[in-house]
Amino acid sequence: MAQDILVPEVSDGVTQGTIIGISVAAGDRVEEDQTLLEMETDKAVVAIPCPFAGTITEVLVEEGDTVQVGQAIMKGEAGDGGAQAQPEKTEQEKPAPAAETAPEAASEAAPEPAAPPAQEALPPAPAAAPAPPAADAHVDQALDLSPVRTGDRVAPAAPSVRRLARDLGVDIYQVQGTGPAGRISEQDVRSFVKETMQRITGGGPAPVATGEFPGLHAQRPLPDFSKWGPVSQEKLSKVRDITADAMSYAWSTIPMVTQYDKADISELEAFRREFNLKATPETKLTMTAILIKVCAAALKAFPQFNSSLDLAHKELILKHYVNIGVAVDTPGGLLVPVLRDADTKGIEKLAVELNETAVKTRERRISPADMEGGTFTISNLGGIGGTAFTPIVYAPQVAILGVSRSVTEPVWNGREFAPRNMMPLSLTYDHRVIDGADGARFLRFICEAIEKPINLVMKG
Amino acid sequence: MSEKIGIPESAKLVVIGAGPGGYHAAFKAAELGLDVTLIDPEENPGGVCLHRGCIPSKALLHVAKVVNEAAESAEIGVTFARPEIDVDRVRGWKNEVVGKLTGGLGMKVKQLKLTHVRGMASFKNSKTLLVRSHDGDEGEIVFEQAILATGSRPFMLPGVQTSDRIMNSTGALDLNDVPGSLLVVGGGYIGLELGSAYCAMGSKVSVVEMTKGLLPGCDRDLVSQLKRRLDKQFETIMLSTKVAQLKEQKNGVMVSFEDKKGEVTKKRFDKVLISIGRRPNTENLGLENTGVKVNERGFVQVDGQRRTAEAHIFAIGDIAGDPMLAHKAYAEADVAAETAAGRKAQYDPRAIPAVVFTDPEIAWCGLTETEAKEQGIKVKTAKLPWRGNGRTLTLGREDGMTKLIVDPETDRVLGVAVAGPGAGELIAEGVLALEMAAVSEDLRKTIHPHPTLSETVYDAAQSLFEG
């Protein structure tokens, strides 16, 4: 029985995506969970798995198409239809016993009371738009006879409630009923619409009303660059587009200050190198992993660094969890996967998680959900170089730590200049939330914890 | 009654067939403001249901009820004389009932200002109908949208023609006479209803059924309620038996039966009623000149709005698939008419009730126990015999059963079935329960009037109560 394959909900707030690769063609046999296509959303590339084992009968989208969550992308048949399987369109009626017994003394079946198979509504075609008599192939496309949800129990809702859902464009099967045995009331349908709208618009009035000014994404007319030489155009990737938006929003709305400091990592580096002699690529200890733990401790000691500013309600939202984002350079652009509950994990565990996450991110196998919920960010450019830089706060977070390349410097120890391995750190913070003195204290805490790790346990 | 109406050259919405599906769709569409042309060969709407089906058969079953109650009332101290059946007056009364109902529909056609073309139509192409009116006019109608509701007709045994002695349901309802002996071929609801009517009017009725039980598809515990009574009334009920041959003779029809062991017996009957099913009327409509698709059983394929493969042509009722029941056609008619008028509509009933108007009546809706078993659905059932119900006993009856089928986890009502006098009326509560997604608690917390048969639903729901 042909069924539609829909774009699943991939992550909270993700409503659409762009098809970037289709892995199957009509007629292909597929396994359950086999990847059908890849979709680039605001946050990541998501592989859309096949919900059943069977045969793909039709591919409804092309690469480059933008699709909505819930939209049909392919049609397929579950089960062992051969690769040549034609969509079976004759299973509309359940054969009544009578009909199977045609000749000779057949019997007349009792009137069949079974609930008919639920059928998907066709998109309403404009009335009075008669199509010419079509060839069979066309007819197959014109008439979607695929019944849906035959395996499920029908939605527990009264006819009037189902009608309301239809009028509001709500799929009744997505509504969670609150009545006995999950019965769906009119109120449940209305709540569903309300919650969905809130999720999409972020609640309350549209973003424009919360203070985003029209000039934020403004662009002056560009000159014709080809006057001065050959040029070519490249379409912005989704990641680039989103990054541009996020950065211009942060840069234009957050008064930022960057505070610099240096940490002496001589002893820590010695320990790290020794540790790594026994480590595998999976367990390898990186400076970033250590910094995650150190920052987590700092965030517990300075909770205002682990917050978000809600100007609309004149509130500071303090988070009682510590999720640290790590900027990862990928061929497709900068992505920031998040390591959760860093304050509760040991450095070894964080190192393993970070190594795994970094690989997944570079291969773009990371899910959008894995990039949500960060409370603080670390951007480590030490592997590339530089003496210092000014990272931009990743709104709605309030602080970000930049790391540059450590170098051996002469450091005066009171008696003489000694060669010490010094790591430059740049802390950018939202000056609306954090005062300069606290910024300096926070960065000092980090440096001191690196230099004398005993501090980590001394203060929390 | 019919004034001569010419065949219009064009139409916004054409409804072909004026049975329950067709006339209901036409009326609904007209009420929604559409300009409707209704094409049907009869003078007044009604289709099989009113002219040759549900209504005339219920009239004859009422006669049966009167006769049987009079006979049974001797038990409670009231004795009537042996009834005399004036077949002409029974027929006349039955036709009067049909006339009143179809005449009323004819009035409504006028009130709603439908263009009523008395004739037959077939498709020239997907936009044009060829129409031949009953008085010989021919014409073409170019239409924008069409609703097909051409219904169904009785299935016949291969090579057998209807005659004075070999009838289908149409012939049986004409009631030309009450034969001394009648063989009903097919133990489905039409055969049992008409067999019961003829039996009460004096025929010796035999039933032959190919499968191993009456009313295939119905739960056996319900059927047994009926069979116990029919065993007493009918001459014989032959199950797992085929009709090998029908031979019309001067004084009757010689019938050869073949039982499951292959043994052949012969018996003569005055008349034979063939009721082995119905087939949709989808031939001779010119559907091959359109993109409309018909499956191997002759049903038009439709989607959730009852649109065919040609989006501007709808199909409803018997031609749109099982069950072939008037009330299912009404529901589809609403959906098609609303969709044609540009509204959002969807055919998604939770249950379509089935009623067998025998005595006792059998009615059910939703999931049956048989289906639950076949599909491996876990259910809990409550079966309440009517023996303890006050109203049953005061009707002079002891038979009857009410059955609730619920989801054991959620208590949600999945199916309701009733066997007993008036079951057809009682089942409406079950259909409402299913549509409203009721749980059995809803039924047992709904006050049912005392003393009535409806209390059996309440009592059955009580028996599902667990602390």
Say how many C-beta atoms besides its own lie within 10 A of residue A388's C-beta: 16
CA distances (Å), origin B100, targets B20, B97, B110, B114: 15, 5, 16, 20
A 384-423 → B contacts, CB under 8 A: none
Residue B5 has a pLDDT of 63
Three state DSSP letters for A265-300: CHHHHHHHHHHHHCCCCCCCCCHHHHHHHHHHHHHH
Residue B343 has a pLDDT of 92
Say how many C-beta atoms besides its own lie within 10 A of residue B453's C-beta: 24
Phi, psi of B98 (to 5 degrees): -60, -45
Complex ipTM value? 0.76
From the list B218, B311, B365, the residue facing A125 with the nearest CB is B311
pLDDT in tens, B361-382: 999 999 999 999 999 999 999 9
pLDDT above 90 covers a percentage of chain A that reads 40
Encoding tokens for residue B102? Answer: 């179809």
- Report chain B residues whose CB lies below 8 A from the CB of A152: none
| Closest by Cα among A96, A99, A92 to A116 | A92
CA distances (Å), origin B381, targets A9, A75, B173, B432: 38, 39, 38, 18
A91 vs A418, more confident: A418
B466 vs A120, more confident: B466
Q: Is B130 helix (H, G, I), strand (E, B) or coil?
A: strand
A 37-96 → B contacts, CB under 8 A: 89-90, 92-96
Weakest mean pLDDT among A39-43, A439-443, B220-224: A39-43
Q: How confident is the model at residue A218 (pLDDT cuts 50, 70, 90)?
A: low
A&B contacts, CB < 8 Å: 243
A169 vs B298, more confident: B298
Distance from the Cα of A107 to chain B's closest Cα (Å) equals: 4
- Report chain A residues whose CB lies below 8 A from the CB of B289: 133
For an interface test with A, which of B237, B267, B287, B297 has the most A Cβ atoms less than 10 Å from its Cβ? Answer: B297
Average pLDDT over residues A188-193: 91
Please, which residues bridge with residue B120 across strands? B132
Cβ of A98 and B216 within 8 Å?
Answer: yes
Residue A213 has a pLDDT of 57
Residue A205 has a pLDDT of 53
- Report chain A residues whose CB lies below 8 A from the CB of B437: 156-158, 177, 179, 181, 183-184
pLDDT in tens, A47-68: 788 888 888 888 888 877 888 8
A 168-197 → B contacts, CB under 8 A: 177, 179-184
| Closest by Cα among B131, B134, B109, B120 to B11 | B131
8 Å CB contact between B36 and B13: yes
Could you tell me if A29 lies within 8 Å of chain B, comparing CB atoms? no
Could you tell me if A268 lies within 8 Å of chain B, comparing CB atoms? no
- Report chain B residues whose CB lies below 8 A from the CB of A130: 126-127, 144-145, 310-312
CA atoms within 13 A on the CB side of B49: 26
8 Å CB contact between B22 and B333: yes
Chain B residue closest in CA terms to A141 = B309
B213 vs A44, more confident: B213
Report whether pLDDT(A98) > 80: no
pLDDT in tens, B186-203: 999 999 999 999 999 999
Distance from the Cα of A234 to chain B's closest Cα (Å) equals: 43
Cβ of A113 and B352 within 8 Å?
Answer: yes
Residue B33 has a pLDDT of 96
Residue A19 has a pLDDT of 80
Report whether pLDDT(A202) > 70: no
- Report chain A residues whose CB lies below 8 A from the CB of B308: 143
- Report chain B residues whose CB lies below 8 A from the CB of A91: none
Weakest mean pLDDT among A155-164, A196-205, B55-64, B173-182: A196-205
Average pLDDT over residues A307-325: 93
CB neighbours of A347 closer than 8 A, spacing ≥ 6? A285, A289, A290, A292, A293
Say how many C-beta atoms besides its own lie within 10 A of residue B34's C-beta: 20
CB neighbours of A126 closer than 8 A, spacing ≥ 6? none
8 Å CB contact between A302 and A440: no
Residue B245 has a pLDDT of 93
Distance from the Cα of B65 to chain A's closest Cα (Å) equals: 21
B466 vs B449, more confident: B449
Report whether pLDDT(A148) > 50: no
Q: Is B130 exposed, middle or buried (0-12, 13-18, 19+ CB in 10 A)?
A: middle
Residue B15 has a pLDDT of 98
| Closest by Cα among B301, B293, B304, B333 to B320 | B301
Could you tell me if A149 lies within 8 Å of chain B, comparing CB atoms? no
CA A405 distance to own-chain centroid: 31
Report whether pLDDT(A203) > 90: no
Report whether pLDDT(B383) > 70: yes
8 Å CB contact between A26 and A1: no
Q: What is the mean pLDDT of chain B?
A: 95
Residue A291 has a pLDDT of 96
Q: How confident is the model at residue A117 (pLDDT cuts 50, 70, 90)?
A: very low
Chain B residue closest in CA terms to A149 = B348
A111 vs B41, more confident: B41
Phi, psi of B47 (to 5 degrees): 65, -165
Cβ of A158 and B437 within 8 Å?
Answer: yes
Cβ of A181 and B437 within 8 Å?
Answer: yes
| Closest by Cα among B375, B383, B394 to B462 | B383
Report whether pLDDT(B41) > 60: yes
